[in-house]
Amino acid sequence: MTIQIGDRLPEGTLAEFIENETEGCSLGPNTFQVADLVKGKKIVIFGLPGAFTPGCSVQHVPGFVKHADDIRAKGVDEIWCISVNDAFVMGAWGRDQKATGIVRMMADGNATFTKALGLDNDFSAHGMGTRSKRYSMLVEDGVVKTLDIDAKGIDASSAESMLQKLG
């Protein structure tokens, strides 16, 4: 079942490639509990089929990087990109997209969290296995406030669409 507005995010973990070691976070892939990351925060989350894919690299991620300051000006604490890739790939993609420090590139390598959201998609016919549907959501303290899923293309889940929803 697909997560709905008003639902709490499911329990789960996501991984992030950390570029600079800090207390509690070592250099390289670090795994985080979603519930801990969202506690008390307003977060824009967008999911997409895969790192380095055309639509994701040309339009989806760049839109959120470009509009990050405007989104944060609306009271958003963080912006996350979730993809069914490993943390090494997500880290490299973040560097390539100049998203480091702007958009958290969160890895869901086994699609466990994506499946728990009910936002997984079977791309086996294209040789890509289980991936994510293209979506965006606003989450406040772990509760979904908005959810937009694109059936095709990048429209409802775009940064521009999210900005309109944030007012």
Structure token pair of residue 57: 């690299």
DSSP 8-class letter at 24: T
User: How many Å apart are CA 84 and CA 82, to the nearest integer?
Assistant: 7
Structure token pair of residue 72: 């944060």
Structure token pair of residue 134: 């293209």
Closest CA to 132 of 107, 165, 99: 107
Structure token pair of residue 152: 């095709």
Q: In sequence order, what are the beta bridge partners of 28?
A: 18
Structure token pair of residue 58: 């040309």
What positions carry a catalytic annotation?
A: 56
